[in-house]
């Protein structure tokens, strides 16, 4: 399974980089892709990341799913990009993974028309939870078919684990997290 992680200026670094690290440890092919015209993307806390692709180079057929890190500005930038919304809709319609954490479920998935109505979680701020409507669940991570959502920065481990389980199975997730000393 090959996944693409979309990075917009203002992305939440721990959600993106922590998830990316755990996915790659598990052997899940994960490619970073920036919305910018150059590879450099600046996170919410000033961490600069050089992405492997720019959105204009993205071949959507190459990937089996998309990962959307949160961060308020990053999520706003993702939601304001028509190409991102089209990609999310295309992947969801095809049953491919659509994974979003923190502000991204409320801002990006709702802008793409995927929510409300499906079980999901997001950062537990009133405006965000209201955007998810009656599908909102106060859980660390929620898996609903091809949709994976998680609460926020401290839940990146739960988010990554849910993605690894979908991509590689429970045994791979258990082994990856044990090797990284993240399993109790």
Catalytic residue, candidates 33, 99, 102, 122? 102
Euclidean distance between CA atoms 2 and 120, whole angstroms? 23
86 Cβ contact list (under 8 Å, min separation 6): none
Residue 122 annotated in active site: no
Sheet holding 65-68, edge to edge: 53-54, 29-34, 2-7, 65-68, 97-101, 147-150, 141-144
89 Cβ contact list (under 8 Å, min separation 6): 112, 113, 114
Euclidean distance between CA atoms 42 and 61, whole angstroms? 27
Residue 83 is encoded by which pair of tokens?
A: 């190409």
Mind telling me the catalytic residues?
102
């Amino acid at each position: 399974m090959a996944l693409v992680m979309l990075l917009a200026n203002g992305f939440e670094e721990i959600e993106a980089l922590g998830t990316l690290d755990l996915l790659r440890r598990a052997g899940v092919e994960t490619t970073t892709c920036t919305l910018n015209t150059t590879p450099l993307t600046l996170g919410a806390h000033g961490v600069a990341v050089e992405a492997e692709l720019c959105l204009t180079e993205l071949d959507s057929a190459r990937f089996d799913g998309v990962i959307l890190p949160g961060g308020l500005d990053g999520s706003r930038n993702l939601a304001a990009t028509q190409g991102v919304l089209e990609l999310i809709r295309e992947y969801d319609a095809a049953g491919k993974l659509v994974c979003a954490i923190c502000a991204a479920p409320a801002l990006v998935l709702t802008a793409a028309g995927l929510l409300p109505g499906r079980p999901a979680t997001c950062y537990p701020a009133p405006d965000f939870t209201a955007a998810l409507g009656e599908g909102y669940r106060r859980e660390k991570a929620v898996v609903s078919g091809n949709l994976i959502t998680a609460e926020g920065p401290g839940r990146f481990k739960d988010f990554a684990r849910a993605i690894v389980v979908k991509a590689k199975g429970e045994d791979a997730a258990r082994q990856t997290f044990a090797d990284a000393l993240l399993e109790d």
